Amino acid sequence: MINEATTYGVYEFGDNTQLCCVTRACPPLSAAQVRVKVLSTSVNPIEIKTRQGLGYVAAQKDADAFLPLGYDLYGEVVEVFASHSQFQVGQHVIGMVGFASNPGTYSDYITANEAELLAVSVQENDAVSGLCLAGLTAKQALDKFTDTERPLYILAPTGGVGHLAIQLAQLQGRKVVAVSTRPEHSLLAELKVTAISYDDFYQRQQQCDLLDLIGGDIALQCLTALSPGSHLVTIPTVTKEKVCEQAMAGGVTAEGMLVAANLDDLKYLYQAYQAGKISINVSHYFAMADIALAHSCMENAEHVGKVIIKA
């Protein structure tokens, strides 16, 4: 029986130097819960924003409380509540765990609800944790678009969500255009996607679908290229209201999206991954003890695709 876990998070909001670890007693399992040994997790923008004190999760933190971080999980079940559990000790699982109010996968052990987990092959590698939050975000954002005959432009296409969204849209048979600060990047060439610069996009005026993964001033400027009748889905929550308001003023259908745990979606993603129809590009691996370096890597835009943390 696992009695305690070492988890990384923050007591105080700020830069990556605020990240620290604490060792805490594991809570007793309840019905439909399992204990999982974390094999890998990954860094997502929401964890950086939370660490900085931004967003809903940060706002719920009590002043002196420790706030654990991390949502992505690839791990091995080490304890189940009862014999009727749908999982067995020794099974490997993936999932987006605790989203959004109960993060904590930056840890060596995590208590997870069975409804959040999908059993996977024991032969998986650490990269598969990067499929969870980013893959679910990409799939659920694409599901918002209804006219698959229109061209789909994706902002920030070399990030974790972006490179998966390209591949998922290609599986739908969509015409995909990546809008990037680095349109000549080798990843975009490997994905066989048309890539243009932001300046090129600004010069266009057309009715299309736009998946905004960057938000802020760049997203606002991109709106000038959208003709009335276009459809925008914006992911960054901090600028969602402003971007959607301006888009709708120009006759564009606009909506934000918050990812949700969904086993059917996760199963679809994993089956596509297993079949070789989508891949997870990992540019950096870090040990859990180097979580601050992993955050720095993403904040400084040194990564391409996913940043994976090995427990």
What is the per-residue pLDDT across 259-276, written as a single tens digit (0 to 9) for each?
Answer: 999 999 999 999 999 999
The pLDDT assigned to 1 comes to: 82
Contact present, 34 and 77 (Cβ < 8 Å): yes
CATH architecture of 133-256: 3-Layer(aba) Sandwich (3.40)
Residue ranges per structural domain of the chain: 4-127+280-310, 133-256
Q: Both tokens of residue 304?
A: 């391409």
Task: Say if CB 70 and CB 6 are below 8 A apart.
Answer: no
pLDDT, tens only, 131-143: 999 999 999 999 9
| DSSP character string of 22-82 | EEEEPPPP-TTEEEEEEEEEE--HHHHHHHTT-SHHHHT--TT--EE---EEEEEEEEESS
Residue 36 has which token pair?
């999982």
pLDDT above 90 (res 122): no
Burial zone of 83 (CB within 10 Å; 0-12 exposed, 13-18 middle, 19+ buried): exposed
- Give just the sign of the alpha carbon dihedral 120, 126, 128, 133: positive
Q: What percent of the chain has pLDDT over 70?
A: 100
Q: Judge: domain 4-127+280-310, CATH 3.90.180.10.
A: yes
Provide mean pLDDT across the span 119-148: 96
Between strands 176-179 and 152-155, the pairing is parallel
Identify the pLDDT of residue 82.
83
Confidence band, pLDDT 50/70/90 cuts, at residue 209: very high
Residue 83 has pLDDT above 80, yes or no: no
